[in-house]
Every structure is written in C-alpha cells, then in structure tokens.
Amino acid sequence: DVVLTQSPLSLPVTLGQPASISCRSSQGLVGSDGITYLHWFQQRPGQSPRRLIYKVSNRDSGVPDRFSGSGSGTDFTLKITRVEAEDVGVYYCMQATHWPPYTFGQGTKLEIK
Amino acid sequence: VQLVESGGGLVQPGGSLRLSCEASGFTFSNYWMHWVRQAPGKGLVWVSQINNDGSSTTYADSVRGRFTVSRDNAKNTLFLQMNSLRAEDTAMYYCLSDVDAAIGRDWGQGTLVTVSS
C-alpha cells in the first residue's frame, strides 16, 4: 500500500501569514496515463471534508486562490498564501493512483496562534 | 450536487446495518462512487468503491468479506451493507463521488455507525 506522510502534523499560524503542508509518498504517484492522482482535502471542525485541490494543482470550484498545490513524483505541497480564520481545520492529502486501497495522509491540524 | 447518507445507528457486535446514500444534482449513473469512514477523533480511511454500472467493486482489507457495496442507478442511490460488525467499525461513514477520474469532488454529511454492546 502507498503510505502518505504529512508534515507538520500540527501547524500554528498567525492570521495573514503563509502556511505550507508537505505530503510525501512511499512511491511515485504518476499513473500509467501520465496523470498524478494526488488530491488535497480540508475538514473544518464539525464538518464533512471538502476537496480543495485535485490532481496536484487544480483548484476546485469555489476554493479561494490563496490555496495552491504543487509537487511531483513523491513530494507534494499545499500552500496557503495568507491564512484566514476560516482556514482552521485538518488538511489531508490523498492518493488515487495506486489502488486499492486509496490512501490518505495522517492529517495536518491548522490552528491560529 | 447533493449526497445524503442515512441508515447509521447503534448496533451490537456481530450485527448488521445497511447504509444508503441518495444522490442528486448530477448524472449518478455516469460515475464511480466510494465510501470513506472516520473513527471518532481519527483520520480518513477509504472503505469501498463501485464502478458506474455496479459490475465492479473493491474493498479495503479491513472490511472485505463483511461489507458489500451496491447501487441502484434508477433510484440514484448507493448502498453499503455491513455485516459482522466490530467495535473497530465505529465511525462516521461518508459517500463520495468520483467525477472526471478525481475522487472526492462531492461528499455527503455522513452517517454515524456505533458498534457497542
């Protein structure tokens, strides 16, 4: 199974400051079709998860442009340019290249300092 | 787009439950669907998937042989039959869409399953 390792697991950030979350895979995530199926999800307290980024760097509809995804191979990053109060929650990366099973990272908890 | 799960509840170890997920706002029959669960205070874990016409299913090792995923495209509904339930199956269960080969565009609100005596 593909193991996704996120860091940090806890991320205290000052409002208006940038934030960055790393997701490292135990194996390369490029599919046989050349597409990398690495996605990012946000779960606000008490809510269902919501997808932010799909296939490494594509922002979902309605997601603020302060969120961006990048990376390739085994190393991927979610960046927030200026953290706002509504960004508090847990962020997960997920791979859908080598399945089954589809696997998630452990989650990174973002909080405001 | 809306996904609405139902069917969760309290069940004794060894018991059964059938979860449902009613979809609306998109052409349900065109897309694969998934179940993902989240134990209290824990992370997300993929459980099962089904292809668009129901002819192919896949399961996590932890549920294979006990859970069965199915769908009724005429009723835009996804199901998860859960048998031989264990305490470790206690979790919020979410259904997810898989649109344009990218899982997770849409999530339901979840339905809570508690396995306890």
What's the mean per-residue pLDDT of chain A? 98
What's the mean per-residue pLDDT of chain B? 97
Q: How far is CA B107 from the centre of its chain?
A: 11
Ranges under pLDDT 70 in chain A: none
Which of A5, A40, A48 would you mutate first to test chain B, the one with the most B CBs within 10 A?
A48
User: Is the CB of residue A20 less than 8 Å away from at least one CB of chain B?
Assistant: no
User: Is the CB of residue A97 less than 8 Å away from at least one CB of chain B?
Assistant: no
User: Is the CB of residue A46 less than 8 Å away from at least one CB of chain B?
Assistant: no
> What are B36-80's pLDDT values in tens digits?
999 999 999 999 999 999 999 999 999 999 999 999 999 999 999
pLDDT over 90 at B25, yes or no: yes
Residue B41, token pair as written in the block: 């205070």
> What are A92-113's pLDDT values in tens digits?
999 999 999 999 999 999 999 9
Which of B69, B103, B106, B112 would you mutate first to test chain A, the one with the most A CBs within 10 A?
B103
Label residue B101 by pLDDT band (50, 70, 90): confident
Nearest to B103 among A43, A92, A96 (CB): A96
Q: How far apart are CA B66 and CA B16, in angstroms?
A: 9
Q: How far apart are CA A51 and CA A49, in angstroms?
A: 7
Yes or no, beta carbons of B107 and A49 under 8 Å apart: yes
